[in-house]
Structures are given as C-alpha cells and as structure tokens.
Amino acid sequence: MSRSMLMRTYSTCLMLLAVLTLGAHAEDQATETAEPVPTDEITLNNGSRLVGTVTGIRDGVVSIETDFAGTLSVSMDQIVSMETSDAATLLLADDSLIEEQSIEIRESELIVAEGTAAEKTYALDQLLVVNPEPWETGVGYRSTGIVSFAFAIERGNSDTDELDYKLESYWRSLRDRYTLKLDGEIDEANGQKNADNWLILGKYDYFLGETTYWGVNTSAESDEFRDLDLRYLIGPYYGRDILTDPQLTLTAEVGGSYVKENFIISEDQDYPSANWYLRMTSDYLGGDSQLYIDQRGIWNLDSTSDVVIDTSLGLAFPLLWSLEAAAEILWEYDTGAVAGVEKLDETYRLRIGYSW
C-alpha cells in the first residue's frame, strides 16, 4: 500500500472516530438534560387508582390530568392515598404556608415532612389550596369583573326597546374588598329619547372574620323619566355570608345612610334611611351556570311609607372563551314615586358580556 493511501485511510478513521465520539457525547447530554414526565398517583376509597399529573387542589377538590380521560375532578374525602412528584406550595386552613413540599396522603391524612423534622399529619380538610395565588397569601389583590350589554323589552312607565350597559368590578385581598358597579340604559324611539337612567355604586368592605365584614357604600342615581335628577347616598353597613355552599349561597347586609334626592320638577328632599342588600346564588343546574337573586333597598326613616326596592332575578351561563350570557328580570319599586310616575317598572333582558 502506498504511503499516500495509508495516510488517507488513517485520516478517514480519525474522522469516523471523532463523529462517533461527538454523537455519543450529544446523546449523553440529551439523556442528562431530559426531564422525566411527572407521574402522580391517587388511590380512592373504592380501590380505584388514577395515574397522571395533579394540576391543582382547591375547595376540597383535586384536579388530575390523565392520558385516558383528560382532566378529572376528585373530592378529597374520596382519597385514601396520593403521591405527587413535583414540589408545591400548600396553604392550610390556619393560613400557614408550606413551601417546596410534594403532596403525600396516607390513610386519608396529609403527611408533611419539613427538613429534618419529624413528619406531621393533618386532616385533609386542613389543606385549602395548592399553589395559591398571591392575594390568597396576603400579597396584593385579585381583580374580577364583567362588562356587558343587553337588548331589552321594557313594560312599565314606557314601552320601549332599549340598550342596557353594565359593569361590575371587584378587587379582593385577604383583609378587604373594593366594589364598583355601573348600570344604565339609553333609549330613543322615533327620534325621541324615552329612557335615560344610570346607577353607579362604590363599596369598601373590611373583613372581621371568614364570613363577617363591615363596610361603607356610596351611590349616585339618575332617571330623567322618573323625574329623578340625582339621588345619592352614603353610609355604613354590616355584612355576613350566611350560607356559603355553592349549591346555595346567601349574603346579607344591613346599615344606615344619609340620602339626598334632587328632582327635575318636584321638590327636593333629604332624609336618613335604613338600607339592606341581599344576594342569593345557586349552581344547582350545573354546567357552570348560576341562578341568582339580587335585592337592594332604601327605607325612608322620615316618611316610613316610602321605600325603594330594586330586585333582579337571573340565570347566568358561560359561552366561549370568557364570554358570559344572562337572562334577567328586573323590578324597580318606589312607593314614593312622584305624581304621574308608575311605582313599579319591570324589565326583561338578555345580556352578553366579557368576564375576567
């Protein structure tokens, strides 16, 4: 074999060796950097076993993503044992936080091992949330709300087809809550305006406990076709969440306020009042729908026969993305309505809005 051919053969062998070495090194790196797919396991009271990835725990319900049935929801009281592979932050009922802790349940008890300390056990109902939002740990506020529009048919002081608008926004922390609401309508028929009214309401709540709070509310209201140029009030109240089960919730607020009413034609007046607010909801129909009743009342303490009661009854249900629809009936009752104005207005409307 010639010297030149020997050198070419030697060079080719070196190149092949280098390629094989680089390939093996890259394969080793890929093997080292590849992260194992988390595999969590849940065993139920009836002996069933679920394998997948636990994506959340909240309000006594565990969500687990499975390959065979998508996301499943499991009640905590049905779980005998559970093990997760990823570390998480646990929020307990006493407001304590346990960080960087995988979830382990044995014999229907939560097992926690912090550092070198001995294991601690907790009843499952003590685990409120896994990976809570910042506001749930006392940092900042959670913002929610909805803005919507509706086409409605109204029969009462005027028979009209109307465009309604509505905004509700809430900012909630562990210690307090801010509320802003705007509701109104503008309508024209045959080139003539025959409805123009609005109500804006602001509230501040400070929580005394899990279900009780005190607050201050202020509102301003105008209704041109009820001779009301402006009604505004301000005053304190006490509130309580009487029922909290999603199948039936009930919140009640009672308080007092100073009310000032300016009329377009009639004589203006101001008076002290007793106020109340009631809200009842139910998810009984399922499918993330919600039945609700809202009522707001103002009772004139100078003239006890005068009372203003606004009540709404509705069914809200989700649409695509973050859209929501609701069918509502609204009753506006005012025993102190000025002469020539009906005491009761009744409105039917279907509204569609965006929630966040």
**In the predicted model, what is the mean pLDDT of residues 138-166?**
81
Mean pLDDT of the chain: 86
191 and 267 both lie in a single domain: yes
**In the predicted model, what is the mean pLDDT of residues 234-250?**
96
Tell me how many domains the chain contains: 2
Is the predicted pLDDT of residue 6 greater than 80, yes or no? no
Q: In sequence order, what are the residues at sequence separation of 6 or more whose Cβ sits closer than 8 angstroms to the Cβ of residue 100?
A: 87, 89
298 and 231 both lie in a single domain: yes
So what's the pLDDT on residue 152? 59
206 and 277 both lie in a single domain: yes
**In the predicted model, what is the mean pLDDT of residues 170-183?**
96
pLDDT digits (tens, 9 = 90+) for 181-223: 999 988 877 667 877 899 999 999 999 998 999 999 999 999 9
So what's the pLDDT on residue 337? 82
| 11 part of a folded domain | no
So what's the pLDDT on residue 31? 46
So what's the pLDDT on residue 17? 46
| 179 part of a folded domain | yes
Cα separations (Å) of 171 from 9, 176, 180, 202, 341? 76, 8, 9, 12, 38
Most confident of 35-44, 52-61, 294-303: 294-303
| 199 part of a folded domain | yes
Domain's final residue, options 76, 109, 132: 132
Q: Indicate the length of the chain as a whole number.
A: 356
The residue among 63 and 341 whose pLDDT is bigger is 63
So what's the pLDDT on residue 19? 47
pTM for the model stands at 0.76
Residue 30 pLDDT grade (very low, low, confident, very high; cuts 50, 70, 90): very low
**In the predicted model, what is the mean pLDDT of residues 131-151?**
91
126 and 88 both lie in a single domain: yes
Which amino acid is it at 244? Answer: T
288 and 256 both lie in a single domain: yes
Is the predicted pLDDT of residue 171 greater than 60, yes or no? yes
Both tokens of 242, joined, read 């009487």
Structural domain span for residue 228: 142-355
| Measured distance between the N- and C-terminal CA atoms of the chain, rounded to whole angstroms | 81
**In the predicted model, what is the mean pLDDT of residues 327-349?**
88
Is the predicted pLDDT of residue 16 greater than 80, yes or no? no
Report the Cα 243 to chain-centroid distance in Å: 17
Q: In sequence order, what are the residues at sequence separation of 6 or more whose Cβ sits closer than 8 angstroms to the Cβ of residue 153?
A: 160, 161, 162, 347, 348, 349
| 32 part of a folded domain | no
Is the predicted pLDDT of residue 257 greater than 90, yes or no? yes
Is the predicted pLDDT of residue 233 greater than 50, yes or no? yes
Domain's final residue, options 100, 132, 164: 132
**In the predicted model, what is the mean pLDDT of residues 250-279?**
96
| 13 part of a folded domain | no
pLDDT digits (tens, 9 = 90+) for 96-132: 888 888 888 988 888 887 665 678 888 888 888 998 9
**In the predicted model, what is the mean pLDDT of residues 252-259?**
98
| 325 part of a folded domain | yes
| 50 part of a folded domain | yes
99 and 200 both lie in a single domain: no
Tell me which of 10-24, 234-248, 308-322, 330-344 is least confident: 10-24
| 16 part of a folded domain | no
Domain's final residue, options 85, 107, 132: 132
347 and 268 both lie in a single domain: yes
319 and 199 both lie in a single domain: yes
204 and 348 both lie in a single domain: yes
207 and 325 both lie in a single domain: yes
103 and 181 both lie in a single domain: no
71 and 151 both lie in a single domain: no
Domain CATH code at residue 301: 2.40.160.40
So what's the pLDDT on residue 312? 96
